[in-house]
Structure 1
Amino acid sequence: MADSDSSIQRHRRLPPLAALRAFEAAARHLSFRKAAEELAVTPTAVSHQIRLLEAVLGRALFVRHVRRVALTAAGERLYPVFRDGFDSFEQAISALDPQSQRKAVTLTAPMLFTARRLLPALDAFRSAHPGFDLRLHAADEVVDLHAGLADIAVRYGPGPFPGLVAEPLMSERFGVLCSPRLGLSHPDDLRTAVLIHTEWKRPGMAPDWQRWRRLSGATGLAIGEGPRFTDDGHALQAAIAGHGAVIASLVLARPEIEAGMLFQPFGPEIVGETYHIVATPENIACADVRAVRDWLADHVSGETPLRENRKPILGRSGGPE
């Protein structure tokens, strides 16, 4: 070719690959020790490679503190370039041997959320990623993502989520739900209705009858009586069967509301917390975990149910909390 500046003819002036790998791992972990564990070398070797890279570039890439490191402005500028470069290397190499690609990701989420939001959306994931093994771990207990028991999670609550990357997925709202057969149309009807209770694992966040009564101003409710369930799914089934009224998630009960099995006879609604997608920084950098994240954002997120099946409240009511 006539162009002597062609990238084919010129020689690339790059630092040693070992130094670049050490920098990328240390920048991702913000730890020389963790980078050393990943690369199967000693922390001293990682430190040596980074000092070599800094000498070649003529500038510091890390600020060394007693028990941690932080990126300098130059390090912040270089890290995403190297990270994306190594990700591209990995993807290109994996593409040569499809058997070497990881096609299994474990997603952990609360039990009712898994049943009501994840399972109905599985077909969309399978259509987009045939042959990909998405494993659902349904548990109301928080799973330690740093321990490797799951790769990504949906968590309910305001956070913070220390050491994890988090982004909001969907908001939650709660309201009175019951079978249309009960014929409820006004909060006063609850004085003679059976009130179904769910024993929430985090009482401080509980959207219960006591909280709803404060919002609505309703009086004469026997909120200390009625059947109690430790599982919110069982409480919903009791309401569907006509055993009473329950304070439940309007988001997770949407299929039953749309099918006419449950309806929201009146307000007010209790504003809940937010469901978040969370993962470790290392996992969210992986293409397979990001595929699950994108599926959650595109097919699982949603708003509270449409209210065609909710009758307006008559008389006094409180607004949303």
Structure 2
Amino acid sequence: MIRRRKLPPLGALRAFEAAARHMSFQRAAEELSVTPTAVSHQIRLLEDTLSQPLFVRRVRGVTLTEAGLSLYPTLRDGLDAFERAVETIRPQARRRSVTLTATTLFTARRLLPALDAFGRANPDLDLKLHASDDVVDLASGKADIAVRYASGPFDALVAEPLFAERFGVLCDPRLGLSHPRDLLSTPLLHIDWRRRGDDPDWERWARMAGLTELAVGKGPRFTDDSHALQAAIAGYGAVIGSLELARPELEAGLLVNPFGPILPGEVYHIVATPGAMATEGVSAVRAWLKTAVAGPV
């Protein structure tokens, strides 16, 4: 008799492996091109199948349980072996491809929604997205082109502005905020990842608004913009967030920018080495960034 394997659903195993590798449901979802909720459901299914938890879920992230630590290396090595086996039988003729690197949030908010437009315009070109908050050395060959949020200069690179960032108060419209002084009785949400000296935070906003009595140091803190936006959508408070990257929620009415002032940010730039920028593939990605990504998505 042929033994039947008693394995959990492959989708649940893939979701767990990606989440364990990134230590983030959000980043696992971005890799798998699904929502964080879908990743969470798949992992719950796997935990139910195994009758034990695989992650310890905390406000600031997740960690593996002993069972998760035991499962992850074997599963990772198995999926790596599957990938190698598949690659050995692929036809050797390779399609043209371009790797674009950008921050995790920019990739999720601006690049992923515009991917269909890129595919329609470039059916013979594969676009690989490298989402990382670390700056990639383009001369290393790890990526061909990048979107960087900085004023420059960009040494030895060709740079072209894409669009300027703006920051403002974002909150659930049900909070009913209509005047800056309403913030005195509203919880403030904070994003901690920025450390550039003149951050678009509550302290800078209150100074510009002349609201000196605002308790700018109080309230929940987040290391991930997406988590802070989700907390604002849920009505937990107001946050100083990107008006550009929160555009889908603003257009859907899930968030509002009830009043100013607006804090100017840096400019997103398209950057590449001079040699890469002259290639046909990178030129196609540059054109897509300037049309589908810089405009409404």
- Same fold per TM (> 0.5)? yes
| Aligned partner letter, 1:289 | V
Correspondence for 1:202 among 195, 201, 220? 195
The residue that corresponds to 2:154 in the other structure is: 161
The residue that corresponds to 1:105 in the other structure is: 98
Deviation at 1:129, TM superposition (A): 1.1
| Aligned partner letter, 1:238 | A
Correspondence for 2:221 among 204, 225, 228? 228
Q: Distance in 2 between matches of 1:263 and 1:185?
A: 10
Correspondence for 1:255 among 235, 248, 267? 248
**2:260 is the counterpart of 1:267:** yes
TM-score by length of 2: 0.67
Q: Distance in 2 between matches of 1:194 and 1:225?
A: 8
Q: Distance in 1 between matches of 2:250 and 2:154?
A: 32
Q: Matches of residues 62-77 of structure 1 in structure 2 within 5 Å?
A: none
Contact 2:110 2:245 survives alignment (8 Å) = yes
**Comparing 99-108 with 197-206, which one deviates more in the overlay?**
99-108
| Aligned partner letter, 1:278 | V
The residue that corresponds to 1:245 in the other structure is: 238
Give the paired residue count.
Answer: 206
The residue that corresponds to 2:291 in the other structure is: 298
| Aligned partner letter, 1:110 | T
Q: Residues 168-193 of structure 1: CA distance to partner in whole angstroms, max 9, x if unpaired?
A: 00111000000011111111111111
The residue that corresponds to 2:127 in the other structure is: 134
The residue that corresponds to 2:141 in the other structure is: 148
Correspondence for 1:284 among 277, 280, 297? 277
The residue that corresponds to 1:180 in the other structure is: 173
Deviation at 1:200, TM superposition (A): 2.9
Deviation at 1:139, TM superposition (A): 1.0
Contact 2:109 2:245 survives alignment (8 Å) = yes
Contact 1:166 1:279 survives alignment (8 Å) = yes
For structure 1, the 5+ residue unaligned runs are 1-98, 306-321
Deviation at 1:201, TM superposition (A): 3.2
Contact 1:178 1:246 survives alignment (8 Å) = yes
SS at match of 1:155: strand
Deviation at 1:130, TM superposition (A): 1.2
Contact 1:200 1:206 survives alignment (8 Å) = no
| Aligned partner letter, 2:105 | L
Q: Matches of residues 208-219 of structure 1 in structure 2 within 5 Å?
A: 208-219=201-212
Greater Rg over alpha carbons, structure: 1
SS at match of 2:159: strand
The residue that corresponds to 1:84 in the other structure is: none
Q: Residues 1-39 of structure 1: CA distance to partner in whole angstroms, max 9, x if unpaired?
A: xxxxxxxxxxxxxxxxxxxxxxxxxxxxxxxxxxxxxxx
Deviation at 1:205, TM superposition (A): 4.1
**2:184 is the counterpart of 1:191:** yes
Deviation at 1:302, TM superposition (A): 3.1
TM-score by length of 1: 0.62
Q: Residues 38-62 of structure 1: CA distance to partner in whole angstroms, max 9, x if unpaired?
A: xxxxxxxxxxxxxxxxxxxxxxxxx
Deviation at 1:206, TM superposition (A): 1.3
Q: Distance in 2 between matches of 1:221 and 1:229?
A: 19
Q: Distance in 2 between matches of 1:201 and 1:247?
A: 12
Q: Distance in 1 between matches of 2:197 and 2:176?
A: 32
**CA RMSD, Structure 1 to Structure 2 (Å):** 1.6
For structure 2, the 5+ residue unaligned runs are 1-91
Q: Distance in 1 between matches of 2:243 and 2:233?
A: 14
Q: Distance in 2 between matches of 1:255 and 1:201?
A: 22
Contact 1:257 1:263 survives alignment (8 Å) = yes
Deviation at 1:277, TM superposition (A): 0.1
Moved over 3 A (4+): 99-102
Q: Distance in 1 between matches of 2:239 and 2:160?
A: 30
